[in-house]
Structure 1
Amino acid sequence: MKVLVVGGGGREHAIIWKLAQSPQQPQLYCAPGNPGIAELATCIDIGVEEVQALADFAEREGIDLTVVGPEAALLVGIVDHFEQRGLRIFGPKKAAALIEGSKAFAKEVMVAQGVPTAASAYFGSLEAAKEYVRAQGAPIVIKADGLAAGKGVVVAMTLEEAEAALDMMMKDKAFGESGAQVVVEEFLTGQEATIMAFVSGDQVHLMVPSQDHKPAYDGDQGPNTGGMGTYSPVPVVDQALLKQVEETIIRPVIHFLAGNGSPFKGILYTGLMLTADGPKVIEFNARFGDPETQVVLPRLETDVLDIFNAVVDGTLDQLNIAWSDRAAVCVILAAEGYPASYRKGDLIAGLDQVGDQAVIFHAGTKRTGEGIVTNGGRVLGVTGFGADLKAAQAEAYRLVERVTFEGVHYRKDIAEKAFRS
């Protein structure tokens, strides 16, 4: 079987890595891929939004299944285009992916279905947004409505920070048209958790939970990033909570989308705040999380290729999906300056230091004549495994110490919250 994965980051490396373990031994391709992925798959120089070229390649090569990694491809309608051409593809159509593409739309869905979430309002006018913020007071959360690579959220602790965030998004257009409209939310407190689910219409299978770390610095300080590390399992998320999330959040949302003429097929990612009043939705994504995938897929025991095919074919309910009890901790190695402007082109040393209890997922790397160099804000995801979170954390940081490049930055407290709960 020939499988094409669309994307070139750490999430896609994790997907390819898991597909490479399939007993079906699929022939793997990735567009555009990266140096880590190139060790497992044939990389194709086609961008993730070049839908026509990707479909042409899939048709020409006889690709049996395409798996979409990034949200940008989903929101330009890659699934719609492939299906129109009779090509099998894993991921939601554009209309369903809007659950991620517009935070305002996601809020409308949640309100309509009574899904617990932060109180909010959205604005296309800068002055109206500022008036609302002044009336609400701080702390308060400002979100760009559209896609912003995980960086379009500002948790403003003061009114000055909130107004500066609104200016940055709406006046200075830091995120382009994604910030033309903003969502302003109440500030929620509690631990965060991510619950991803395989979804095929009304068929749902929850994955094991994980916890992301968005702020750039230890102790959840500094600006939000695309994610500085993750761990799984999450001690504060038990089976009762998972069942509650499925019944009160995930199923009502996919029911709404189906009734809206856009049934969801693919991965529904639910980002939660575990408040004193119960779980509340922070955000939805329409694909695997990054870097959550780097700790969740390593715990999957069922052949991931069988799952992808079952989602596409509508037979997900027929699968018994099994998960390992082992723990996983992923630490992101970022370039100096990330998430603002950052260095590129620094030689990476130590990539050959991996043992049998860890794996390095490439995110922002490039191969040159000198070797593999940094080529993105989040450069590598170092995932350690163990019988429990302490052991997995130790493995991850053992390897982190051996992988170096100029200006490397990483958080030193990934998974620490698990030991305080």
Structure 2
Amino acid sequence: MQQPVQQREQLRRGCRVLVVGQGAREHAIVWTLHHSRFEPKLFVAPGNPGMEGICTRVPIAAHDVHELVSFALEAHIDLVVIGPEAPLSLGLVDECLKHGIPAFGPTKAAAQLESSKAFAKDLMKKAGVPTAVYEVFTDAAKARAYVEAHGAPIVVKADGLAAGKGVIVAQTTQEACNAIDDILIGQRFGESGNRVVIESFLEGQEASLMFFVDDELALPMVPARDYKRIGEGNTGPNTGGMGSVAPVLRDRPEIVAEVERTIVQPVLRELKAREITYQGVLYVGLMVTRDGRPMVIEFNARFGDPETEVVLPLLRTDLLQVMWATAHHALRDVRLEWSTGHAVCVVLAAPGYPEKPVVGQPIQFAHGPSDLVFHAGTTSDNGVLKTSGGRVLTVVGFGTTRREAQGVAYRIAENIYFDGKQIRRDIGN
């Protein structure tokens, strides 16, 4: 079992923090850390133009483990915070710990909860965690036969990482068979699609519940809901997420305790039995079925995106204090406090997203200085801000009610312009 980094010193004012990543999730993390009372010196690799002014950008790719560790050593970084899933699956945390650098995030072995859906399903089966019935296939013909035998709707998942696009909720057997061929034969997701997981379709209310975890303790964040489909009314292909709202399930507070008891703790115990220590964020994608039972749709080994953009702004406890305690296995000393308000975020996506986003369009802003806009896929071209990714910007609205927060978010969104802007109009409905 990988030993945790021992706490070399207490969290101090002006500590040096490296955030890894470049999307809206990482922008939200940097923005929240910037407001810490400990006034950290923030670095981000590689970051995006929206972060400039509140941190120092470092031109190192998020997947370049060797260069990231080298920079952390040279810059005397006190804490490395990993945002996206790829560097976790490549073992960035392992390398940080090997060099005595505290890191916020799970090791490569623990991150398999996200990097391999087959691993996660096997672990859940052994731990007795409620989830959909499933089978794993490497042979397309056998996978198609399974679908034909079980009918639709049915869910087809690429086993590995696919940037949130590797899940197909097939409404017909033909759609499922096409997805199987696309993944296993057409290699749509490369090596991530060498195996497919085929699951029964779950119905109910979706929710995202994230936990800060330090191996011994799991502290829940406020539940959120992500809107995955590109089209209004949850139509069209899956995306990385077109918006989110928080909190949800306020009328069902017992759900959080049940998720911790029936899902999170059994998973952590099973990981320990395999000599795997988990620390960082554990994201549980849930379906609360019609009989009120929470069942796992998926795990992520990091903050969700775009859920982070609505959850972290509602956190009243100092995020740096929470991350430091998590990395040093001291969550027992932390008490999470949350705003009683609501947050809604809306994603502005490039034309052609999610299949073939068209980028390079100039972006024009007409929003106010207090409006909260997180950058996801932007670049600065000779001083001109342009689109550079499928999800371009995430705008966030706050209010005492969800309807009020929704109104603020859409007001901000209407004052941002680029050619072909895609936006869902029903986030928070």
Q: Calculate the TM-score normalised by the size of structure 1.
A: 0.97
Cα distance in 2 between the residues matched to 1:16 and 1:236: 28
**1:114 matches 2:133:** no
AA at the equivalent of 1:330 = C
Matched with 1:80 is 94
AA paired with 1:331? V
Alignment of 1:252 with 2:266, yes or no, is yes
Contact 1:30 1:41 in 2 (8 A): yes
Counterpart in the other structure of 1:317: 332
Distance 1:237 1:4, change over 3 A: farther
Map of 1:419 onto structure 2: none
1:406 paired with 2:419, answer: yes
Structure 2 residue aligned with 1:214:
228
Distance 1:72 1:387 in 2: 36
The structural deviation recorded for 1:353 is 1.0
Say if 2:217 and 2:332, in contact at 8 Å, map to a contact too.
yes
Over the aligned positions, Cα root-mean-square deviation in angstroms equals 1.0
1:282 maps to 2:297: yes
1:386 maps to 399
Per the alignment, in what secondary structure is the counterpart of residue 341 of structure 1? Answer: coil
Relative to 1, partners in 2 of residues 1:400 and 1:49: Cα closer, same or farther, differing over 3 Å? same
1:279-307 CA-partner distances (Å, limit 9, x unpaired): 11000000000000000000000100000
Q: Is the 8 A contact 1:202 1:255 kept in 2?
A: no
Deviations 1:355-385 (A, max 9, x none): 53x4000000001125110000000000001
Residue 396 of structure 1: which of 403, 409, 418 is its match?
A: 409
Aligned to 1:368: 381
Deviation sequence 1:130-168 (CA, Å, 0-9, x none): 111111111110000000000000011111101110011
Q: What is the identity, as a one-letter code, of the residue corresponding to 1:285?
A: N
**How far apart are the structure 1 equivalents of 2:238 and 2:395?**
20
Q: 1:226 aligns with which of 225, 240, 246?
A: 240
What do the CA deviations read for 1:79-109 (whole angstroms, capped 9, x no partner)?
A: 1011111111111000000000110111111
Alpha-carbon distance, 1:237 to partner: 5.8
Indicate the percent of aligned positions where both proteins have the same amino acid: 49
Residue 170 in structure 1 maps to residue 184 in structure 2 = yes
What does residue 115 of structure 2 align with? Answer: 101
Please state how far the C-alpha of 1:205 moved relative to its aligned partner: 0.3
Distance 1:92 1:175, change over 3 A: same
Q: 5+ residue gaps in structure 1?
A: 417-421
Equivalent AA in structure 2 for residue 297 of structure 1: L
Matches within 5 A, 1:229-240: 229-235=243-249, 238-240=252-254
Q: 2-side partners of 1:100 and 1:2: how far apart?
A: 28
Aligned pair count reads: 414
Q: Deviations over 1:336-362 (max 9, x none)?
A: 010010111101111x51353x40000
Show the counterpart of 1:60.
74
The amino acid across from 1:103 in the alignment is: K
Distance in 2 (CA, whole Å) between partners of 1:233 and 1:390 is 12
- Give the structure 1 partner of residue 103 of structure 2: 89
TM-score of the pair, normalised by structure 2: 0.95
Question: Can you list the C-alpha shifts for 1:148-192, whole angstroms capped at 9, x where unaligned?
Answer: 000000011111101110011011101001111000000111121
Cα deviation code 1:18-60 (max 9, x no counterpart): 0000011101000000001123111111011111100110100
Distance 2:182 2:19 in 1: 34
What's the secondary structure of 1:95's corresponding residue? coil
Runs of 4+ in 1 over 3 A off after TM superposition: none
Residue ranges of structure 2 left out of the alignment (5+ in a row): 1-14
Match of 2:286 in 1: 272
